Amino acid sequence: MANTINLTLKVWRQKSSDSPGAFEIYQAHDIDTDLSFLEMLDVVNINLEKNGKEPIAFDHDCREGICGCCGAMINGQAHGPEHGTTLCQLHVRKFRDGDTLVIEPWRSRAFPVVRDLIVDRSAFDRIIQAGGYVTVRTGSAPEAHSLPVPKIDADEAFDSAACIGCGACVAACPNASAVLFVGAKISHLALLPQGRVERERRARAMVERMDLEGFGNCSNHYECEAACPKEISVRNIARLNREFFRAFVKG
Amino acid sequence: MTLDSKVPGGPVSEKWTRHKFDMKLVNPANKRKFTVIVVGTGLAGASAAASLSELGYQVKAFCLQDSPRRAHSIAAQGGINAAKNYQNDGDSVYRLFYDTVKGGDYRSREANVYRLAELSVNIIDQCVAQGVPFAREYGGMLDNRSFGGAQVSRTFYARGQTGQQLLLGAYSALCKEIAAGGVKMFPRREMLDLVVVGGRARGIVVRNMVDGSIESHAGDAVILATGGYGNVFYLSTNAKPCNVTATWRAARKGALFANPCFTQIHPTCIPVHGDCQSKLTLMSESLRNDGRIWVPNKSGDKRPPGQIPEQERDYYLERKYPSFGNLVPRDVASRNAKEVCDKGRGVGSTGMAVYLDFRDSIQRLGRSTIEARYGNLFQMYEKIVDDDPYQVPMMIYPAIHYTMGGLWVDYNLMSNLPGLHVLGEANFSDHGANRLGASALMQGLADGYFVIPYTLGHYFASNRLDPVKAEAPEFKEAEQSARQRIQKFLSLKGKKTVDEFHRDLGLLLWDKCGMSRNQAGLEEALRKIPEIREEFSKNLVVNGSADSLNQSLEKAGRVADFLEFAELLVLDALERKESCGGHFREESQTEEGEALRDDVNFCHVSAWEWAGEGKKPILHKEPLVFDEVHLAQRSYK
Amino acid sequence: MSSESRCALRSSILRKQIVAVTGLILTGFLAGHLAGNFLIFLGPEAFNGYSEKLHAIPELLWLVRLGLIAAFLIHVITTILLTLENRQARGERYAVNGSKSEESLKFAKKTMIYTGLLVLFFLVLHLSDFTLSDKEGPASMIAAGEGNPPRNLGLYGLVWNSFLEPWRAGVYIAVMLVLGLHLSHGIQSLCQTLGFYRNDLVPGIRKLSLVLGLLAAIGFSSVPLFINIVRTPPL
Ligand SMILES: Cc1cc2nc3c(=O)[nH]c(=O)nc-3n(C[C@H](O)[C@H](O)[C@H](O)COP(=O)(O)OP(=O)(O)OC[C@H]3O[C@@H](n4cnc5c(N)ncnc54)[C@H](O)[C@@H]3O)c2cc1C
Ligand code: FES
């Protein structure tokens, strides 16, 4: 039969971006350890709702670890204690009966809280809009095989492109820096011949936007890599640094 | 009402080329005078919005998520088909067309499917140019695999994250256009109504999901690319917010809803484990290439799998379908799993699962080969189920995965409501009664990149559109009714949460209108759905307010629409007395228990017209004509 | 300067790269300094001779000194500014601070600014003790061997005498350990910031950084240790 445990949740509640927030404590009783973390919150929410209270708001969509919607700090760890995992893929069995979990939203000046555990990550979209694309019009593409790409490059580009844009890197970084996110996109496109044409412009524009959004600076703590659910390497940051320098030198 | 599919004349292979020439063009200088509303920014919506903006139209794009990059398309794993014939294994546009018509069990429109196959090759070129990191061979060329039982290798893939990479490609094109000013993006907006002015779709009413405000947006055409309605079953492999609201609201405004009963069930999903489960996870179909599916011979055999000797196991797919074995199509594999479980031979704590066993392949090929092929899937399984599939067989069970039904559209992807265009999974699609693997991504992108940019221009060039403002009374009315609905939900103060109602509805549908359907069950469902709806309208509890972020309120609107739509789905299933594709009517089967199509009576698209509250919807039929592919019963024996 | 490159100068990454380059210069200086220190083991002639050679062309010496001072100031000021910015970037603090990183040298990373500031304060002392003080005065007098009259051993004598005071030696060694810690993260950090991303090199660079940090700490500490063990200079 299913195992169940009891948890104490200390959850950040905040009505909107301009109202103050505070922690509230909830008991999660008899939680089936096979539930995912978000399903555990669902159970807590149903109880809240039945007692006339507003449920805890949290972002979620695919619940498969690919859309990058979900995420929160669990006892100071982005997406909880398990490595290479999003919150929706974290399971209650990773906790022990009686544990107290402090659940907080991502904290960064660039990610204002929208409500409870939901933050506004539109800064990421604006960074991509600044240059995270190849300028190619629909219909103008050449035959796909006209440009061979070495398998190693394609595989490495994929490793970088695996970023789901969840924001855990920013949340975990002691400086709330976004360089892993930006580095992953820059690397993805710099590794492919299709992306190289615009590399200088892209690096300059994306970094400028990143700075404008109010993210911190990287001081090579590598907490981002440890928190990344897709285990994206900090080598992407090194590549970003080089791409940016190259763009600077080329003027 | 007569349904005019507007399929152009000429041989199937020339229809699209001719049609492109025959369609009228909009003067480049005039394009910026047209505003296009695109609802949904998944593969279909994002590609459409970006391409239309490139042409010079003013685009307003809407999505539910905080960013267009998170649309449900992101979850697609397996790959995307294209008739490139890079493998020199005999593929061609014609073969892809043929396979898709046959795979759809002859319930799709030939001309549309041919165009889809034709455009498939351009999609790959476009995506590669955007920087989509498809898998490659050592020579630097694109790699392909065979997928979903296809006899040629035509599937392009990016590890197990093809949907993600394609969506990021379309999203980047969209971002480029947002930066250029052609697209204005409205994230965290939920479309609550379609606005029809002078008989044409001219705008939408949305709720800003952050501050709750109700907004009207007017335009010259509306494009719905809002995905499928699989979540009507509550548990499905779809992302949580997938809904029918956008398409259903359009249907209530006069758009026809076609083939709602055509839903696809995927055979290899992780089984349901308990009442609090919120969604089902798909395990790639490719697992069936090396895994063997079995259940114990005896019902109620509760021994652990390792203790069940070989002669007491039933490899039922291999037994019943010797030539296809474990690789039979999705619908056949799913139905058989249900059948053995219904006989009490299912495994796992709920008895609703079958084994997918890799023991023999591990012995034959070695653990490292299996690890190289499926390592990430095994890892994912272990993460969710906490069992090691290298040691114990996986447990799988079918789950709702995709919906072939959707709003009816003509060859130009326009619904019967002028100005309303529907793309991607949201339209009734080119997949007939059953979709082949790796072809939904293809369809979404073909619609968005390569069809709508032409056909929408034709609509604009051939119609005189009067200016319409968001202050028009039609908008005010729609806003008003949206507000009333919201107030109603908040005022009920009942005892049952939205999720609980949703679960009730899902269980009922899955039971009566899931993998196999019969008249008695469908009629029972038709009686029970209104009961749930009735209780919903009295006993629902939604706390909080309308003017803030309120996720329960969002869900309440979606479930309310599912509760209305479910009735149509069941009605359609009841009316279609044949078995075809994903729709298996127990009354219509061969002696061996296989699906039996009835081409004499049902070779048509069923398109339903909303007749008003409490009235039976009106059925319109679009007959399907097959000039190229000859009607035949599928057989996998 | 074009407006574009001025804007780049304000950019987070370029400023980090400035810190990295100045760090690299200072690391190079430390390496030279350490090599010079080792001459102590060869006796007063070698050590003082080296010092005199350095002073032979004062213009050159001052040029180098100015360069180093500039590098140092830029390194310190930029880092302080970046650190202040980073504090702001978080906004509201976390109630619980955790980490998922399994790296062993988290301490070194977290304390870079503090270890750096400590070295800065020490430097002031260190300069006034040695560089700026009188190298021919009584502090340089050492009686080499039993019964011999004290001789003036110049800088050598000054260094020797001051390290004979246990608290000075203690403080010096402690600061050198801190410096080693700073370098153990700093060296690999500057490689990362300057864009070394090759998969085959990165693990090596990280190890090298650790080893170099350790070597610097041991190397610098070896002089006061040696002096306190021998107590009288082997002349
Ligand atoms: C687990 C899984 C795996 C799959 N694997 C494959 C595969 O390998 N190959 C393949 O070809 N297909 C696959 N599919 C199917 C395929 O992913 C989908 O059919 C396809 O991505 C649908 O794309 P779309 O653009 O039509 O809609 P979606 O991607 O669903 O996008 C819908 C958009 O509409 C928006 N929206 C919805 N409702 C509203 C509303 N009321 N108001 C405002 N906006 C709204 C959403 O925010 C979103 O932006 C898979 C599906 C699943 C579930
Ligand atoms: S909900 Fe999609 S990644 Fe967690």
Residues B272-303 pLDDT 10s: 988 889 999 999 888 998 999 999 999 989 99
Average pLDDT over residues A57-74: 97
| Catalytic residue of the set B69, B189, B330, B585 | B330
Q: Give the pLDDT confidence score for residue C4 in this predicted structure.
A: 53
CB-defined contacts A:B, below 8 A: 220
Average pLDDT over residues B573-586: 96
List of chain C residues whose C-beta atoms are within 8 Å of the C-beta of residue A176: 86, 89-91
* Tens digit of each residue's pLDDT (9 = 90 or more) over A15-33: 999 999 999 999 999 999 9
* Tens digit of each residue's pLDDT (9 = 90 or more) over B231-278: 999 999 999 999 999 999 999 999 999 999 999 999 999 999 888 899
Interface residue of A4, A38, A61 to substitute, partner B, most B CBs within 10 Å? A61
Percent of chain C whose predicted confidence (pLDDT) is above 90: 70
* Tens digit of each residue's pLDDT (9 = 90 or more) over A96-125: 999 999 999 999 999 999 999 999 999 999
* Tens digit of each residue's pLDDT (9 = 90 or more) over B478-532: 999 999 999 999 999 999 999 999 999 999 999 999 999 999 999 999 999 999 9
Q: How far is A245 from chain B (nearest CA, A)?
A: 23
Instruction: Give every CB contact of residue B454 below 8 A, 6+ residues apart in sequence.
Output: B20, B23
Q: Is B292 helix (H, G, I), strand (E, B) or coil?
A: strand
Residue-range domain boundaries for chain A: 4-104, 122-249
Distance CA B127, CA B133 (A): 9
- Tell me the residues of chain A between 150 and 169 that have a Cβ less than 8 Å away from chain C: none
- Which pair of structure tokens corresponds to residue C120? 């800065």
Closest CA to B293 of B326, B340, B251: B326
- Residue B40 CA to ligand 1 centre (angstroms): 9
**What are the beta bridge partners of residue B183?**
B59
- Under the banding of pLDDT at 50, 70 and 90, the label for residue C38 is very high
**Contact with chain B for residue A195, Cβ under 8 A:** yes
* Tens digit of each residue's pLDDT (9 = 90 or more) over B12-55: 999 999 999 999 999 999 999 999 999 999 999 999 999 999 99
- Say whether A175 and C101 touch across the interface (CB within 8 A): no
Contact A89, A143 (CB under 8 A): no
Q: Is A178 helix (H, G, I), strand (E, B) or coil?
A: coil
Instruction: Give every CB contact of residue C64 below 8 A, 6+ residues apart in sequence.
Output: none
**Contact with chain A for residue C149, Cβ under 8 A:** no
Q: How far is C143 from chain A (nearest CA, A)?
A: 50
E strands of A40-191, at which residues? 73-74, 77-78, 100-104, 113-115, 118-119
Whether C and B touch, i.e. at least 3 CB pairs below 8 A, reads as: no
**Other Cβ atoms within 10 Å of B451 Cβ, number:** 26
Closest CA to A67 of B126, B283, B41: B41
Q: Is A182 helix (H, G, I), strand (E, B) or coil?
A: helix
Distance CA B221, CA B112 (A): 22
Interface residue of B20, B51, B64, B70 to substitute, partner A, most A CBs within 10 Å? B70
**Contact with chain B for residue A134, Cβ under 8 A:** yes
Question: Which of the four CATH numbers 3.30.420.310, 3.10.20.30, 3.40.440.10, 3.20.20.150 does domain A4-104 have?
Answer: 3.10.20.30
Distances in whole angstroms, Cα of residue C86 to Cα of each of A110, A212, C103? 12, 14, 22
Tell me which residue in C4, C10, C91 faces A109 most closely, judged by beta carbons.
C91
Distance CA B55, CA B97 (A): 29
Q: Whose CA is nearest to atom 8 of ligand 1?
A: B78
Distance CA C32, CA C29 (A): 5
Residue-range domain boundaries for chain C: 3-230
Report the residue among B37, B41, B51, B64 best suited for mutation to probe ligand 1: largest number of ligand atoms under 8 A from its CB.
B64
Active site residue B330: yes
DSSP summary character for residue B68 = G
Average pLDDT over residues C10-37: 95
Q: Give the pLDDT confidence score for residue A89 in this predicted structure.
A: 95
- Residue B12 CA to ligand 1 centre (angstroms): 29
Q: Which of A23-27, B74-78, B207-211, B616-620 has the lowest mean pLDDT?
A: B74-78
**Contact with chain A for residue C188, Cβ under 8 A:** yes
Nearest ligand atom owner, CA of B205: 1
Q: Is the pLDDT of residue B389 over 70?
A: yes
- Which pair of structure tokens corresponds to residue B556? 């309440």
Q: What is the CATH number of domain C3-230?
A: 1.20.1300.10
Q: Which of B264-273, C71-80, C225-234 has the lowest mean pLDDT?
A: C225-234
Q: Whose CA is nearest to atom 21 of ligand 1?
A: B73
* Tens digit of each residue's pLDDT (9 = 90 or more) over B144-200: 988 877 889 999 999 889 999 999 999 999 999 999 999 999 999 999 999 999 999
- Tell me the residues of chain A between 46 and 65 that have a Cβ less than 8 Å away from chain C: none
Average pLDDT over residues C61-70: 95
Q: Is the pLDDT of residue C1 over 50?
A: no
**Contact with chain A for residue C5, Cβ under 8 A:** yes
List of chain A residues whose C-beta atoms are within 8 Å of the C-beta of residue C82: 217, 219
* Tens digit of each residue's pLDDT (9 = 90 or more) over B535-579: 999 999 999 999 999 999 999 999 999 999 999 999 999 999 999
State how far Cα B72 lies from the chain centre: 10
- Which pair of structure tokens corresponds to residue B23? 């369609």
Strand ordering across the sheet containing B313-314: B263-269, B394-403, B354-357, B292-296, B313-314
* Tens digit of each residue's pLDDT (9 = 90 or more) over B392-409: 999 999 999 999 999 999
List of chain C residues whose C-beta atoms are within 8 Å of the C-beta of residue A243: 195
What ipTM score was computed for the predicted complex, to two decimals?
0.98
Distances in whole angstroms, Cα of residue C174 to Cα of each of B341, B588, C218, C223? 72, 87, 11, 13
Q: Give the pLDDT confidence score for residue A1 in this predicted structure.
A: 47
- Under the banding of pLDDT at 50, 70 and 90, the label for residue C105 is confident
- Residue B136 CA to ligand 2 centre (angstroms): 28
- Under the banding of pLDDT at 50, 70 and 90, the label for residue A215 is very high
* Tens digit of each residue's pLDDT (9 = 90 or more) over A129-163: 999 999 999 999 999 999 999 999 999 999 999 99
- Which pair of structure tokens corresponds to residue B611? 């007749």
Nearest ligand atom owner, CA of A163: 2
Q: Give the pLDDT confidence score for residue B593 in this predicted structure.
A: 85
Q: Give the pLDDT confidence score for residue C7 in this predicted structure.
A: 60
Q: Give the pLDDT confidence score for residue B87 in this predicted structure.
A: 96
Distances in whole angstroms, Cα of residue B154 to Cα of each of B87, B149, C103? 8, 11, 44
Distances in whole angstroms, Cα of residue B133 to Cα of each of A185, B357, B458, C199? 12, 32, 34, 20
- Which pair of structure tokens corresponds to residue B457? 């221009």
- Residue A71 CA to ligand 2 centre (angstroms): 8
Sign for the pseudo-dihedral over CA of B388, B163, B121, B433: positive
Percent of chain B whose predicted confidence (pLDDT) is above 90: 90
- Which pair of structure tokens corresponds to residue B530? 């209104």
Tell me which residue in C2, C5, C94 faces A73 most closely, judged by beta carbons.
C94
Question: Looking at the domain A122-249, which fold is it?
Answer: Fumarate Reductase Iron-sulfur Protein; Chain B, domain 2 (1.10.1060)
Burial C78-99, CB ≥16 within 10 A → b, else e? bbeebbebbeebbeeebeeebb
Q: Whose CA is nearest to atom 38 of ligand 1?
A: B226
**What are the beta bridge partners of residue B130?**
none
B522 lines ligand 1 (CB under 6 A): no
Average pLDDT over residues B363-383: 89
| Orientation of helix B519-539 relative to helix B473-492, angle to 10° | 80
> For all residues of chain B together, what is the average pLDDT?
95
**What are the beta bridge partners of residue B610?**
none
Angle made by CA atoms B541, B542, B544, in degrees to the nearest 5: 140
- Say whether B141 and A16 touch across the interface (CB within 8 A): no
Q: Give me the residue label for tokens 């260094």.
A: C159
H helix intervals, B5-42 = 15-22, 28-31
Write down the pTM of the prediction.
Answer: 0.96
Q: Give the pLDDT confidence score for residue B348 in this predicted structure.
A: 92
Distance CA A229, CA B14 (A): 48
Q: Give the pLDDT confidence score for residue A96 in this predicted structure.
A: 97
**Contact with chain A for residue B213, Cβ under 8 A:** no
Ligand 2 lining (C-beta closer than 6 Å): A 60-63, 65-70, 86-88
Distance CA A233, CA A230 (A): 9
Q: Is the pLDDT of residue C44 over 50?
A: yes
- Tell me the residues of chain C between 9 and 48 that have a Cβ less than 8 Å away from chain A: 10-17
DSSP summary character for residue A5 = E
**Contact with chain A for residue C69, Cβ under 8 A:** no
DSSP summary character for residue A109 = T
Distance CA A170, CA A228 (A): 10
Name the burial class of residue A27, with classes exposed (0-12), middle (13-18) and buried (19+) by CB atoms within 10 angstroms of its CB. exposed
- Residue B237 CA to ligand 2 centre (angstroms): 13
Contact B294, B313 (CB under 8 A): yes
Beta strands B58-62; B183-186: pairing state: parallel
Give residue B106's region: left, alpha or beta (phi > 0; psi -120 to 50): left
Average pLDDT over residues B204-230: 98
Average pLDDT over residues B316-329: 90
**Contact with chain B for residue A121, Cβ under 8 A:** yes
